[in-house]
Amino acid sequence: MELVSHEPATGAEIWRGAAGNVDHAIERARDAMRDWARLPLAQRVELMRRFANTVRKHADDFAELIAREAGKPLWEARTEVEAVIGKVDISVTAYAERTGQKKLNSALQGTAALRHKPHGLMVVLGPYNFPAHLPNGHIVPALIAGNVVIFKPSEKTPAVGEFLTRCFHEAGVPEGVIQCIHGAVDTGQALVEHDGVDGVLFTGSARAGIAINRKLATNPGKIVALEMGGNNPIVVIDTPKLQDAAVTIVQSAFTSAGQRCTAARRLIVIDSMFDAMVAEVKQLAERLIVDEPFADPQPFMGCVIDNAAADLMSESFVALMGRGGKPVMHMKRPDEKLPFLSPSILDATDISNRPDIELFGPLLQVIRVADFDEAIKEANNTRYGLSASLIGGGPQDFEIFWHEIRAGIVNWNRPTNGASSAAPFGGVGLSGNHRPAAYYAADYCAYPVASTEMEQPRATIGVGLK
């Protein structure tokens, strides 16, 4: 099957290629597995550092490709390339801290040791919104730990996935150790189900993650890390800093055209702050530049990934209005042939049974509540639990918020997005399966092995002998 990738901002073809052969890729990976796992850790780390230098050498071309294929502004694509480079040092430190070796010596009982082993062959299924950084966040820790990797990029960003993989090869990582295989849903399913795969590391939608979890429910021997989405709340209580709060909200909701799993989907504001806060957010959102990736001046937002995504977002905005939502800023689409959408805001206060779904685009629902207690209750009114932020209040308020909110990332006077790679990244509920990524990725890339060891056998039976 032939696959074609188009630039969302222009519609121009950017890449064309064939779907990969799953059986062949797995056979090749397993052939490379033993030698890679037995390579000294220091050599694997050195190869990862060479990879970082290779990406640095190609940074301009890499950023341009990400901008073209994902439709994001060039400035944002450059930050993604920097994150790819920075992941190496963070992963090296995390592996040493999270999977370190220990030995306890006893003259009579020998040595008790703790070491870690790689799982074997890991499949990495990548998303389109951060087509380099997010899969790389699985790949680098997996390779450091001694695993081999088959990487299937999103079928919407295959060119970026191929470029990332070539950087590993150029740095000297053997081609059997990290492979890029292209394909659609059926290719991903074949990789997940294959008996030759020892682990699945996934970033994407809750729907796809649940399907993977269900498929592997009877196979506990296969490690599964699911990094899924969120219906993330940002809560505003008393604050005199309206402009700063508005900037934080706009960054949370509209960076990457709302295509971040940590994007704020719901703005929950106490009644006394509601009118002033929503007006400030609207005023700022109306100033945001939406344009193609290389426009001058640089836009704040690019387009969403494709026309199907733009259609879904437009239809969702209309559907929410039909259920009682009141438009604060209408969603506009200047060209029906291209997936550019304006930032949009909708007052969802009067919508009963608000849909608990991740609307993956530049749509912010605002909800008026009476007080802080009701705000927390509304914030937790979701099956997801990835990211949440509180704006305003004092330390005691944040202490309450931190304790009460169900989320893996809980911030105060900071955006819901932009999480640090030097911290764990993951959520609860439909946002993940308790396998946080980023700094904690080392935890699912190797498993602990306990040993008791003596150079010569020494044993006695002290009771029960005739």
Domain assignment present for residue 463? The answer is: no
User: Taking 90 as the threshold, does the pLDDT of residue 323 lie above it?
Assistant: yes
Domain assignment present for residue 421? The answer is: no
| Same domain (yes/no): 217, 241 | no
Give the pLDDT score at 191: 98
| Same domain (yes/no): 14, 134 | yes
Domain assignment present for residue 116? The answer is: yes
Domain assignment present for residue 99? The answer is: yes
Give the pLDDT score at 197: 98
Domain assignment present for residue 465? The answer is: no
413: Cβ–Cβ under 8 A, 6 or more apart, which residues? 244, 248, 389, 390, 391, 392
Domain assignment present for residue 344? The answer is: yes
| Same domain (yes/no): 127, 163 | yes
Among 341, 344, 310, CA closest to 328: 344
| Same domain (yes/no): 211, 236 | no
| Same domain (yes/no): 218, 239 | no
Amino acid at 227: E
Domain assignment present for residue 258? The answer is: yes
Token output for 439: 């700094």
Confidence of residue 104 (pLDDT cuts 50, 70, 90): confident
| Same domain (yes/no): 204, 282 | no
Token output for 172: 């000297």
- Domain of residue 313, CATH code: 3.40.309.10
Domain assignment present for residue 417? The answer is: no
Confidence of residue 404 (pLDDT cuts 50, 70, 90): very high
What is the Cα–Cα distance from 203 to 128, expressed in whole angstroms? 10
| Same domain (yes/no): 142, 264 | no
User: Taking 90 as the threshold, does the pLDDT of residue 109 lie above it?
Assistant: no
User: Taking 90 as the threshold, does the pLDDT of residue 458 lie above it?
Assistant: no
Amino acid at 159: A
- Domain of residue 438, CATH code: 3.40.605.10
Q: Which contacts (CB < 8 Å, 24+ apart) does range 9-17 have?
A: 9/68, 9/71, 9/292, 9/293, 9/302, 9/303, 9/338, 9/340, 10/292, 10/338, 11/337, 11/338, 14/68, 14/69, 14/159, 15/69, 15/158, 15/159, 15/162, 17/158, 17/162, 17/182
| Same domain (yes/no): 249, 293 | yes
Confidence of residue 352 (pLDDT cuts 50, 70, 90): confident
| Same domain (yes/no): 177, 35 | yes
* Catalytic residue numbers, as ranges: 227, 261
| Same domain (yes/no): 45, 75 | yes
Tens-digit pLDDT profile for residues 171-193: 999 999 999 999 999 999 999 99
Confidence of residue 460 (pLDDT cuts 50, 70, 90): confident
Tens-digit pLDDT profile for residues 427-443: 999 999 999 999 999 99
| Same domain (yes/no): 196, 317 | no
What is the Cα–Cα distance from 255 to 79, expressed in whole angstroms? 13
Name the residue range of residue 332's domain.
Answer: 232-412
Tens-digit pLDDT profile for residues 231-272: 999 999 999 999 999 999 999 999 999 999 999 999 999 999
Q: Total domain count for the chain?
A: 2
What is the Cα–Cα distance from 171 to 390, expressed in whole angstroms? 43
Confidence of residue 107 (pLDDT cuts 50, 70, 90): low
Mean local confidence (pLDDT), 305-327: 97
Tens-digit pLDDT profile for residues 131-156: 999 999 999 999 999 999 999 999 99
Tens-digit pLDDT profile for residues 202-215: 999 999 999 999 99
Give the pLDDT score at 446: 97
Give the burial string for 230-244 (b: 16+ CB within 10 Å, else e).
Answer: bbbbbbbbeeeebee
| Same domain (yes/no): 155, 253 | no
Average pLDDT, the chain: 96
Local structure of residue 299 (DSSP, 8 states): P
